[in-house]
Amino acid sequence: MESPASGSGETATRVVTRGSVIDSIRGCGLSGMRIDKEELRRRLVMPQYLRFAMRDAIRLQDPTAGEARFHERTDLNVGPPEAPIVVFINARSGGRHGPELKERLLQLIAEEQVFDLKDVKPHEFVQYGLKCLEMLAGIGDSCAKDTRERLRVVVAGGDGTVGWVLGSLGELKKEKREPFPPVGIIPLGTGNDLSRSFGWGGSFPFAWKSAVKRSLHRASTGDVCRLDSWHILLSMPNGEVVDPPYSLKHTEDCSLDEGLEVEGALPEKVTSYEGVFYNYYSIGMDAQVAYGFHHLRNEKPYLAHGPVANKLIYSGYSCAQGWFITPCSSDPSLRGLKNILRMHVKKVNCSEWEQIPVPASVRAIVALNLHSYGSGRNPWGNLKPNYLEKRGFVEAHADDGLLEIFGLKQGWHASFVMVELISAKHIAQAAAIRLEIRGGEWKDAYMQMDGEPWKQPLSKDYSTFVEIKRVPFQSAMICGE
């Protein structure tokens, strides 16, 4: 199941999908392993002066604010913990369990090592908390140095929360601030595909109080795996108004790959956004359904107060949006993506762009990294070696530098794919993707990345571009198994 990463001591894992029930049972820790609470604290909790130093640095947004704690410490012989851990928790996730889980974490490790995301954002921890440890290490504090090098991170939340933390930790790579803390997960979201992919389960366990100790223990001892992340650049004619998700940020740097010529005229000015995703990007009807569902949930939050309710309402909303039954085939908003989309890809070990035809029947296209999609499904499928060779594909991994691109025809096709009776319509494997979306009669297209949907306005005169390329460094994940 595993192969060694070159020269790093890390482990590259294949993605494995499991059902929610099995995940929950395994998460309960039925193996009988007992973990002593005090022993766990000794392994995880940082010395008090370091905890207070980080807290001061974050509160005052000044990495040097914690230096006084170093000079005031009374125990000069204190050493670093064996496996220091900080936890980010989205206490609003997980229904009623979120606040209870936070209280449980505060019992197991120090208060200063548990960050509620409504109070402390991941980038604040990176800019001030970690910087404080690095500053103390720089003035000769060996305990701070060892703590920084051994540090691991746990995220208690859904895929969006995990991606948020991974993105903030990615700034360490850009600033060459090694090492890169690996990340473990306590799943609190609805789909939890990142959590499933790395062995942390698909749902919060039934016996969650005892499972929290085991999760922290696994986070402190688990092997480190690698995960590709993907940079997305969205470029549209200036003047188009878009309400992007928080994972897309406005950018002035719109540098589309010049190795591919653009058809038609380009506008004088463009508006651009960029972001990073870890699981998938999609365009089409699936994103349209997700967009409508998110707005419905925001307008009427009482309808969806937990994972089961979310899935039931999502299924009903899918039926109401024409995903299953097309009421009028002449309506341009219900035609296949072929009418608006031109797609180019760079295939494995190839530096040239190649145009890939969009099948006429496809109404949604997904570029998938994890191969756990829609709460643990594997729409790409486990393909046989003969088929892989015939199509020029390779076996899919989360760290292979490739995205698997597949199509969904309509709701009925998607349903059979999601219960794994059939595979999705395989389109390509790609190391980079360029989508050119032409407006025409379409006023909008719908897109989503890692579960965050948005409505993308289209111009009649100019194309909108989406360009996806792999981030040059990989994220570090802790294997839950």
CATH classification of the domain holding 445:
2.60.200
Among 150, 240, 187, which residue's Cα sits nearest to residue 454? 240
Shared domain for 221 and 268, answered yes or no, is no
Q: Is residue 258 part of a domain?
A: yes
**Can you say how many angstroms the Cα of residue 62 is from the centroid of all Cα atoms in its chain?**
29
Task: Specify the higher pLDDT residue, 152 or 17.
Answer: 152
Q: How far apart are CA 135 and CA 473, in angstroms?
A: 25
Q: How far apart are CA 458 and CA 232, in angstroms?
A: 18
Summarised one tens digit per residue, pLDDT across range 96-114 is: 677 888 889 999 999 999 9
pLDDT band at 289 (very low <50, low <70, confident <90, very high): confident
Task: Specify the higher pLDDT residue, 11 or 127.
Answer: 127
Q: Give residue for tokens 């691109």.
A: 405
Shared domain for 239 and 166, answered yes or no, is no
Summarised one tens digit per residue, pLDDT across range 173-210 is: 989 999 999 999 999 887 789 999 999 988 876 567 77
Shared domain for 203 and 162, answered yes or no, is yes
Q: How many structural domains comprise the chain?
A: 2
Shared domain for 6 and 18, answered yes or no, is yes
Q: How far apart are CA 159 and CA 290, in angstroms?
A: 15
Least confident piece of the model among 93-102, 155-164, 459-468: 93-102
Which phi and psi angles does 436 have, rounded to 5°? -115, 115
Which of 191, 210, 227 is a domain's end point? Answer: 227
Shared domain for 127 and 151, answered yes or no, is yes
Query: Mapping DSSP to helix (H, G, I), strand (E, B) and coil, where does residue 319 land?
Result: helix
Range(s) of the domain holding residue 465: 230-472
Task: Specify the higher pLDDT residue, 441 or 118.
Answer: 118
Reply yes or no on whether the pLDDT at 391 is more than 80. yes
Q: Give the H or E element holding residue 2.
A: strand 2-4
Cα within 13 Å of Cα(405), Cβ side? 24
Q: Is residue 478 part of a domain?
A: no
Summarised one tens digit per residue, pLDDT across range 272-281 is: 999 999 999 9
Q: Is residue 479 part of a domain?
A: no
Q: Is residue 312 part of a domain?
A: yes
Which of 227, 260, 290 is a domain's end point? Answer: 227
Q: Mean pLDDT across the chain, nearest whole number?
A: 82
Which phi and psi angles does 372 have, rounded to 5°? -130, 110
Shared domain for 167 and 234, answered yes or no, is no
Q: What is the pLDDT of residue 438?
A: 81
Shared domain for 41 and 161, answered yes or no, is yes
Shared domain for 367 and 451, answered yes or no, is yes
Shared domain for 173 and 275, answered yes or no, is no
Shared domain for 7 and 70, answered yes or no, is yes
Among 234, 325, 286, 310, which residue's Cα sits nearest to residue 408? 286
Q: Give residue for tokens 């180019």.
A: 344
Q: What is the pLDDT of residue 116?
A: 94
Q: How far apart are CA 242 and CA 252, in angstroms?
A: 16
Q: How is residue 170 written in tokens?
A: 């990615």
Q: Is residue 410 part of a domain?
A: yes
Shared domain for 242 and 189, answered yes or no, is no
Q: Is residue 218 part of a domain?
A: yes
Shared domain for 248 and 220, answered yes or no, is no
Q: Is residue 477 part of a domain?
A: no
